[in-house]
C-alpha cells in the first residue's frame, strides 16, 4: 500500500501502478493514471492531461462535469508546449477554488505537459507534492511507450519499404507491381486509399496509373488537367503537400471525388521525379482514425516515390529498347524480302536468260554458225546487265562511298548506275555546290530515304524521268526526289496501311524524324510524285554535337 504519508484518506497499490505502466500506448497510460488518481484521491473529481511526447501530442480527460467542459477547452487552447517545456498559461486564468493546474514534466524535462484537476476542496501541500511526482512518472513512461511505438512503427515501415523496393527492382510488370506498391503504401501510411498518377505530356493531363481504393473501377479512366487539384499543384511545383482540410483548400478539386463517390478527408501528395524531370505524383488519402498525415509519413512517401519513379523510368527504357529491337527486326526482314525480290527479278532472270542463250548458241554452232556472233553479243549484253544489277544491289546494301566520301558522292555513284541499268527511265542528279559535311548517321539516313523514294518511283510510277536534287538555303539543306510518273492518292494509301502491310513510306517518315528533319510527300494521280526532306542547320548542329559526343 502506498500513500502520501500524511493521511490514509487515499492510497493505491503497487498492483494499480503496474496496470498503469503496462499500458499499450501513451494515451492509455495517461488515461489509466488519471482514472486511478480520480478514484484514489477523493477531493479530485475529474481532470485532464495534456502531454507532448517526442512523437506526438496526447490528451485525455475524465470526470469533468458537462457545464465545465468549456473551461477545459479554453485551458487546452491556451497551452502551447515549447521544446524546453516552459510554462504556457500566461494568457489564461483559471476560475479559483474548484480548479488546480499542475505542470507535468518528466524528470529529465524531455517532455512537457500540463494537468488540470477539478476538485471538491483545496489540495494539501503533501497531496500536491505527491501528485507532481506521480505526474512526472506518468509523463516519463508515456514518453517511453510512445518512443517505443514510434520506433516499432518506423522499423515496420522500413521493412515495408524494403519489400516495395525489392518488388520494384525485380519485376518488369510495372503496372502489377505499382498496384501492389499502392496497397503497401496505404498500409504503411495507415490510409484508406493510395494512387499514382502519371503525366501525359501530349495532352498536358495527369491520369491514374496505379490505384488502391474501393472506388478503383470508377477512377481507371479519369484524367485531370496537369494543373488541376492538389495533384496538379504538386505536379506543377514539385513540392509535397499535406492537406487536412481539402474542402477549404482552394487547390483542391472536387472532380475526382464527384466521379468516384469517394470523400476525401485528408491528403498527402508527393511528386514523382527522375533525373530532375517530373513524371507524375503519388498520393495517399484519408488517414484512418482522426489523425492527419505527419511529416514522417511525408518522408516515407517521398522515399517510396523516388523508388517508384526509377522503376517507371527503367520500365520505359526497357519498353523503348523492345520497340527499337522490334523495329530493327522489322527493317531487317524488309531488307531480306526486298533483296530476295530484287535478286529474283533481275539477277536470276538475267542468269536464266544467259543459260537459255548459251544452249541456243550451242545449237546454232551445229546448225547455223553464221548466226552465232549475234547470239554471243546478246549473251555478252545479258552478262553485262547481270553484273551491273548485282553490283547495284551490293552498292545499295552497303554504299562504301557514302562512308568515305559523303552523301554527294554516294548519290552521284548511285544515280549514275541506275541510269546505266535502266532502259525506260532517265535518272538525273542536281547537286548544290555547298552541300555541308554531314555526320555519318545523318548521311546514311538521308541516303536510305532517297533509296526508298527512288525504289518506289521505279516500282510504282512508270516514270520517264526520276530526278534527285539537293538544295542549300540559308536555313538548311533540302533533298528532293521527283518523278513524272502516274502518282498516287497519299490519303488512301495512308488509310489502308493496316491492311497493305507495306512500310516504305512509314519508314521514310520515321527516318526523317530520327534526324529531326521534316518530310513532305506530294502526289496526285497522273501528275507524278515529289518527296522533300528539309534538314534545318539548327538540327544539323545538334546532330553534329551528338555525333561528336558518341
Ligand atoms: N513514286 C510513286 N509513284 C506512284 N505510286 C507510289 C509512289 N510511291 C509510293 N506509291 C504508292 O504508295 C504505296 C505505298 O508505298 P510504300 O513504299 O509504303 O509501300 P510499297 O512500296 O508498296 O511496299 P514496300 O515499300 O513496303 O516494299 C505504294 O504501294 C504505291 O501504291
Ligand atoms: Mg516502297
CA-nearest residue for atom 22, ligand 1, is 502
Residues less than 5 Å from ion ligand 2, measured at CB: 456, 504
Question: Cα(461) to centroid of ligand 1, in Å?
Answer: 9
pLDDT at 496: 85
Ligand 1, CB cutoff 6 Å, lining residues: 456-457, 459-461, 483, 485-488, 493, 502-505, 529
Question: Cα(523) to centroid of ligand 1, in Å?
Answer: 11
Ligand closest to Cα of 494 equals 1
Question: Cα(212) to centroid of ligand 2, in Å?
Answer: 49
Cell digits of residue 531: 518527296
Question: What are the helix (H) ranges across 343-459?
Answer: 349-367, 372-397, 400-421, 440-456
CA-nearest residue for atom 28, ligand 1, is 460
- DSSP-derived pairing of the beta strands 426-430 and 465-472: parallel
Closest CA to 259 of 206, 221, 207: 221
Q: What is the mean pLDDT of residues 390-411?
A: 84
Lowest average pLDDT, out of 67-81, 250-264, 456-470, goes to: 67-81
Which residues have C-beta within 8 Å of that of residue 527, sequence separation ≥ 6? 487
> Can you count the helices (H) and strands (E) in the chain?
17, 15
**pLDDT grade, residue 332 (50/70/90)?**
confident
Q: List the Cα angle 343/344/347 in 5-degree steps.
A: 55
**Cα–Cα distance between 149 and 145 in angstroms, integer?**
6
**Cα–Cα distance between 269 and 305 in angstroms, integer?**
10
Q: 84 or 152: which carries more pLDDT confidence?
A: 152
**Cα–Cα distance between 397 and 410 in angstroms, integer?**
12
Please report the domains of the chain, with CATH numbers, ordered by start residue: 14-151 (3.30.450.40), 166-315 (3.30.450.40), 406-550 (3.30.565.10)
pLDDT at 320: 82
Which of 213-245 are b and which e, b meaning 16 or more Cβ less than 10 Å from the residue's Cβ? bebbeebeebebebebbbbbbbbeeeebbbbee
Q: Probe ligand 1: pick from 331, 494, 499, 502, max atoms within 8 Å of CB?
A: 502
Q: What is the mean pLDDT of residues 397-418?
A: 88
Question: pLDDT per residue over 420-437, tens digit each?
Answer: 888 889 999 999 988 999
Give the rounded percent of residues in the chain with a pLDDT score beyond 70.
Answer: 93
Q: 439 or 397: which carries more pLDDT confidence?
A: 439
pLDDT at 95: 67
CA–centroid distance for 331 within its chain: 30
The mean predicted confidence, pLDDT, of the chain is 87
Q: What is the mean pLDDT of residues 190-216?
A: 93
Ligand closest to Cα of 531 equals 1
**Cα–Cα distance between 465 and 428 in angstroms, integer?**
7
**Cα–Cα distance between 464 and 424 in angstroms, integer?**
6
Question: Cα(489) to centroid of ligand 1, in Å?
Answer: 10
Amino acid at each position: 500500500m502506498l500513500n502520501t504519508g500524511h493521511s490514509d484518506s487515499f492510497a493505491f497499490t503497487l498492483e494499480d501502478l503496474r496496470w498503469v505502466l503496462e499500458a499499450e500506448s501513451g494515451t492509455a497510460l495517461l488515461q489509466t493514471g488519471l482514472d486511478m488518481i480520480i478514484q484514489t484521491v477523493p477531493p479530485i473529481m475529474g481532470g485532464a492531461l495534456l502531454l507532448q511526447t517526442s512523437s506526438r501530442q496526447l490528451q485525455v480527460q475524465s470526470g469533468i462535469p458537462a457545464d465545465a467542459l468549456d473551461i477545459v477547452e479554453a485551458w487546452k487552447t491556451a497551452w502551447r508546449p515549447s521544446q524546453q517545456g516552459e510554462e504556457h498559461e500566461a494568457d489564461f486564468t483559471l476560475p479559483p477554488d474548484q480548479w488546480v493546474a499542475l505542470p507535468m514534466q518528466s524528470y529529465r524535462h524531455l517532455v512537457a505537459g500540463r494537468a488540470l484537476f477539478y476538485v471538491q476542496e483545496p489540495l494539501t501541500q503533501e497531496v500536491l507534492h505527491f501528485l507532481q511526482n506521480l505526474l512526472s512518472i506518468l509523463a516519463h513512461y508515456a514518453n517511453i511507450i510512445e518512443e517505443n511505438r514510434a520506433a516499432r512503427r518506423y522499423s515496420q515501415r522500413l521493412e515495408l519499404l524494403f519489400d516495395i523496393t525489392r518488388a520494384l527492382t525485380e519485376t518488369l510488370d510495372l503496372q502489377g507491381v505499382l498496384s501492389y506498391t499502392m496497397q503497401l503504401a496505404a498500409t504503411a501510411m495507415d490510409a484508406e486509399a493510395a494512387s499514382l498518377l502519371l503525366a501525359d505530356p501530349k495532352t498536358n493531363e495527369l491520369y491514374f496509373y496505379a490505384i488502391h481504393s474501393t472506388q478503383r473501377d470508377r477512377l481507371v479512366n479519369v484524367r485531370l488537367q496537369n494543373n488541376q487539384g492538389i495533384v496538379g499543384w504538386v505536379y506543377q511545383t514539385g513540392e509535397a503537400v499535406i492537406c487536412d482540410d481539402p474542402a477549404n483548400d482552394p487547390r483542391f478539386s472536387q472532380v475526382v471525388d464527384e466521379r468516384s463517390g469517394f470523400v476525401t478527408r485528408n491528403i498527402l501528395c508527393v511528386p514523382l521525379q527522375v533525373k530532375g524531370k517530373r513524371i507524375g505524383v503519388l498520393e495517399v488519402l484519408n488517414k484512418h482514425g482522426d489523425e492527419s498525415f505527419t511529416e514522417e509519413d511525408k518522408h516515407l512517401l517521398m522515399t517510396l516515390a523516388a523508388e517508384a519513379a526509377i522503376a517507371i523510368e527503367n520500365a520505359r527504357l526497357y519498353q523503348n529498347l523492345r520497340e527499337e529491337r522490334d523495329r530493327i527486326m522489322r527493317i531487317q526482314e524488309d531488307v531480306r524480302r526486298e533483296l530476295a525480290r530484287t535478286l529474283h527479278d533481275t539477277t536470276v532472270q538475267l542468269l536464266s536468260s544467259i543459260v537459255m542463250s548459251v544452249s541456243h548458241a550451242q545449237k546454232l554452232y551445229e546448225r547455223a554458225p553464221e548466226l552465232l556472233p549475234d547470239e554471243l553479243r546478246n549473251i555478252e549484253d545479258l552478262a553485262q546487265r547481270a553484273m551491273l544489277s548485282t553490283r547495284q544491289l551490293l552498292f545499295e546494301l552497303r554504299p562504301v562511298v557514302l562512308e568515305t566520301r559523303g552523301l554527294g558522292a554516294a548519290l552521284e555513284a548511285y544515280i549514275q548506275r541506275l541510269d546505266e541499268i535502266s532502259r525506260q527511265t532517265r535518272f538525273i542528279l542536281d547537286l548544290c555546290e555547298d552541300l555541308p559535311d554531314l555526320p555519318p548517321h545523318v548521311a546514311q539516313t538521308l541516303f536510305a530515304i532517297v533509296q526508298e523514294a527512288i525504289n518506289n518511283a521505279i516500282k510504282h510510277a512508270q516514270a520517264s524521268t526520276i530526278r534527285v536534287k539537293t538544295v542549300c538555303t540559308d536555313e538548311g539543306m533540302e533533298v528532293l526526289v521527283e518523278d513524272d510518273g502516274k502518282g498516287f492518292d497519299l490519303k488512301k494509301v495512308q488509310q489502308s496501311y493496316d491492311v497493305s502491310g507495306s512500310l516504305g513510306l512509314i519508314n521514310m517518315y520515321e527516318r526523317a524524324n530520327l534526324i529531326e528533319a521534316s518530310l513532305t510527300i506530294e502526289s496526285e494521280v497522273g501528275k507524278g510524285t515529289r518527296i522533300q526532306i528539309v534538314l534545318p542547320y539548327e538540327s544539323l548542329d545538334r546532330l553534329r554535337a551528338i555525333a561528336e559526343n558518341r
